[in-house]
Chains A and B, each alone.
Chain A
Amino acid sequence: MTPKSLQLKVLDLVPFGQTGTKHYFFALRLENPNWEEWQPGQFVMLRPASFGLEIPWGRPLGICHLTHQHLICFFQVLGRGTERLAQLKTGDYVQVVGPLGQGFVMEEATPTLLLAGGMGIVPFVGYVNRHSQPWNLSMLFGHRAPIDCYPVDSINERITLDSLQETVPGDLDNLIFSLQERIHDCAEQHGLVLACGPLPFLKTVQRFALQFQARTQLSLENRMACGVGACLGCVTKTTPNWQDQKLANNYVQVCTHGPVFWAEQIIL
């Protein structure tokens, strides 16, 4: 569907992670935007009135989940924008532009491997909940913060989630090894790999995906100003494999052509 720009009311803001310390992870529940359609992997540009003129850009947040009651966004406090988002109160209004971009493909009968790195787990909440044959899904989740900082509960209820917390440097090697093994196995089964996470994580996934010829989609997180394809700030470079030959070996907007891309079509 074409995106809308709406003022949505905040239902609540729920901190995740250990109590008693400063919180960095939040689930933001907003009233239902009544979109006709959306796909997991799509995102919204969120801009509360408190940004004023000082913080010009909305913040692109992956849609965590949307039910008939509410839209859930999930974020980690990382800078001045998310710091201000963390101060939202029930009843505040937030400008929400969405749904934006292209989501993940969903092939219900195909064995599908979900690979999440840190906050990359967010779009998979909606994905897992919407999937009609969750027994075809498996997931590997690499993260640094404790597991209770992330929205894993509803995923855990539906599928088996293997998580690897990185606490010492050697853990990273384990994660890379697991990624290699799982992507290899998925390719053998002619399955589908979907990945979301920080750039080094995506680069690793892309490397193994190309090596084992696994059908793989990657969700990118580039800096964005507009979210609607106008500013050309968030671009990524395409390979000669890009579907539209006119845009092969070119820069394309992550916000409109992505954020989800086929692994063999972009250069990270």
Chain B
Amino acid sequence: MNLAVTLSGQSQKLELKNPILTASGTFGYGLEFAPFGDLSSLGGFIVKGLSLKPRLGNPGPRIVETTAGMLNAVGLQNAGVEYFCRETLPKLPTNQTNVIANIYASSVEEFAELAAILEHEPRIKALEVNISCPNVRQGGVLFGQDAKMAAHVTKACRQAAPNKFLIVKLSPNVTDIAYIAQSVEGAGCDCISCINTLQGMSVDLKSRRPMLANVIGGLSGPAIKPVALRCVWQVAKAVKIPVIGVGGITSARDVLEFILVGAWAIQVGTANFMRPQISFELIKDIPLLCEELNITSLTELRGSLKVS
């Protein structure tokens, strides 16, 4: 079965060997998972969020396990884009698979500056703009929660990196995700990935303290899959550009469900922590499950949800 997918955006394309990508923040810089599978077999991997300057991240505890999920408030710890390009990128299999940079900034200008730096980095095949990190706040409002701001950031990145495949990652913590999706599509992005984590919290009754030092964190894992499916379905109906589904995927069945509601590709996130070889295994599992379910191609399945 041919699993190859071409993501055709408004101005750029991205060729994937298969629809399996790994979600930013759950796969390190890829190398952490090299002992468990062949990185070049993946459709691509999205590296831990990059910022212009190094970021220390939040104090601990940064993570807590919840029922069928986890909360994190890592706060985008990273060594900065320059360090990444100089030290990390040369070690990655950039000729064999798509290495995608997830970028975060606290102002529109900074987003543009970051995008401009990566525009000139041929080893990076696409940018994923993180306008939806729930753990980092500047000025109180997330870019991803305001349609105008989301479009503004998207436009700035588009102009700064006209030759990169541009993905915008949306937050589910909004009243109307389809509206935000249309807004970033209108601003020129090639693709939408959704969803980022849901805001949540966890407390300890005995000590009467929050489980995270940051109090609030982002919920991920199997618990959020129904929310993610709903968002992908709503977004896929609302836009013409391809959508990448993210949220609680742990099996080939989950992957096919996301494709059924309209996703072109998916990202494996928290499941990478549950089973480090999972993303590699899914590539082999999908054709087997398709055969079992008489699905002849992913194209045939995509968006074929019957809603009466």
Q: How far is the CB of B119 from chain A (nearest CB, A)?
A: 26
Contact A56/B70 with A225-B63, A228-B276, A231-B273 known, Cβ cut-off 8 Å: yes
Residues 229-255 of A contacting B (Cβ, < 8 Å)? 229-236, 246, 250-251
- The reply to whether the CB of A89 lies closer than 8 angstroms to some CB of chain B is no
Contact A251/B273 with A225-B70, A235-B62 known, Cβ cut-off 8 Å: no
Task: Give the CA-CA distance A198 to B2 in the complex, in Å.
Answer: 52
Contact A5/B70 with A56-B222, A230-B28, A250-B56 known, Cβ cut-off 8 Å: no
B28 contacts A55, C-beta separation under 8 Å: no
Query: What 0/1 readout, one digit per residue, does chain B (272-296) give for beta carbons within 8 Å of chain A?
Result: 1111110000000000000000000
Chain A residues whose CB sits within 8 angstroms of the CB of B196 once the complex forms: none
Chain A residues whose CB sits within 8 angstroms of the CB of B70 once the complex forms: 56-57, 225
Q: How far is the CB of B288 from chain A (nearest CB, A)?
A: 19
- The reply to whether the CB of B32 lies closer than 8 angstroms to some CB of chain A is yes
Task: Give the CA-CA distance A233 to B64 in the complex, in Å.
Answer: 9
A47 contacts B65, C-beta separation under 8 Å: no
Task: Give the CA-CA distance A10 to B228 in the complex, in Å.
Answer: 37
Task: Give the CA-CA distance A39 to B28 in the complex, in Å.
Answer: 24
Chain A residues whose CB sits within 8 angstroms of the CB of B67 once the complex forms: 54
Chain B interface SS verdict (over half): loop
Listed residue (A232, A235, A246) with the most chain B CB atoms within 10 angstroms of its CB: A232
A230 contacts B27, C-beta separation under 8 Å: yes
Q: How far is the CB of B109 from chain A (nearest CB, A)?
A: 26
- The reply to whether the CB of A3 lies closer than 8 angstroms to some CB of chain B is yes
Chain A residues whose CB sits within 8 angstroms of the CB of B48 once the complex forms: 230, 232
Chain A interface SS verdict (over half): loop
Task: Give the CA-CA distance A229 to B48 in the complex, in Å.
Answer: 12
- For the A-B complex, the count of residue pairs with Cβ-Cβ distances under 8 Å equals 101
Partner of B57, one of A47, A55, A57, A251: A251
B275 contacts A47, C-beta separation under 8 Å: yes
Listed residue (B26, B65, B77, B275) with the most chain A CB atoms within 10 angstroms of its CB: B65
Task: Give the CA-CA distance A54 to B61 in the complex, in Å.
Answer: 21
Residues 19-34 of B contacting A (Cβ, < 8 Å)? 25-28, 32-34
The residue on A at minimum CB distance from B34 is A2
- The reply to whether the CB of A129 lies closer than 8 angstroms to some CB of chain B is no
- The reply to whether the CB of B72 lies closer than 8 angstroms to some CB of chain A is yes
- The reply to whether the CB of B134 lies closer than 8 angstroms to some CB of chain A is no
Residues 214-231 of A contacting B (Cβ, < 8 Å)? 222-223, 225-226, 228-231
B221 contacts A228, C-beta separation under 8 Å: no
B74 contacts A232, C-beta separation under 8 Å: yes
Task: Give the CA-CA distance A256 to B83 in the complex, in Å.
Answer: 20
B275 contacts A5, C-beta separation under 8 Å: yes
Q: How far is the CB of B154 from chain A (nearest CB, A)?
A: 27
B273 contacts A57, C-beta separation under 8 Å: yes
Task: Give the CA-CA distance A97 to B36 in the complex, in Å.
Answer: 10
- The reply to whether the CB of B68 lies closer than 8 angstroms to some CB of chain A is yes
A226 contacts B60, C-beta separation under 8 Å: no
B69 contacts A232, C-beta separation under 8 Å: no
B274 contacts A58, C-beta separation under 8 Å: yes
Query: What 0/1 readout, one digit per residue, does chain B (259-273) give for beta carbons within 8 Å of chain A?
Result: 000000000001011
- The reply to whether the CB of A4 lies closer than 8 angstroms to some CB of chain B is yes
Task: Give the CA-CA distance A95 to B36 in the complex, in Å.
Answer: 13
Chain B residues whose CB sits within 8 angstroms of the CB of A53 once the complex forms: 68, 221-222, 250
- The reply to whether the CB of B90 lies closer than 8 angstroms to some CB of chain A is no
9 closest A-B pairs by CB = A233-B63, A230-B28, A2-B35, A226-B273, A53-B222, A225-B273, A230-B32, A229-B32, A232-B74
A-B CB contact pairs (8 Å), 28 listed: A2-B34, A2-B35, A3-B35, A5-B275, A5-B277, A47-B274, A53-B68, A53-B222, A53-B250, A56-B70, A56-B222, A57-B65, A57-B70, A58-B273, A223-B60, A223-B63, A225-B72, A225-B273, A226-B276, A228-B35, A230-B32, A231-B25, A231-B63, A232-B62, A232-B77, A234-B63, A250-B56, A251-B57
Having A56-B270, A233-B62, one finds 14 other A-B pairs with CB under 8 Å, namely A47-B274, A53-B221, A53-B222, A57-B70, A223-B60, A226-B276, A228-B35, A230-B272, A231-B74, A232-B57, A233-B63, A234-B63, A235-B60, A251-B57
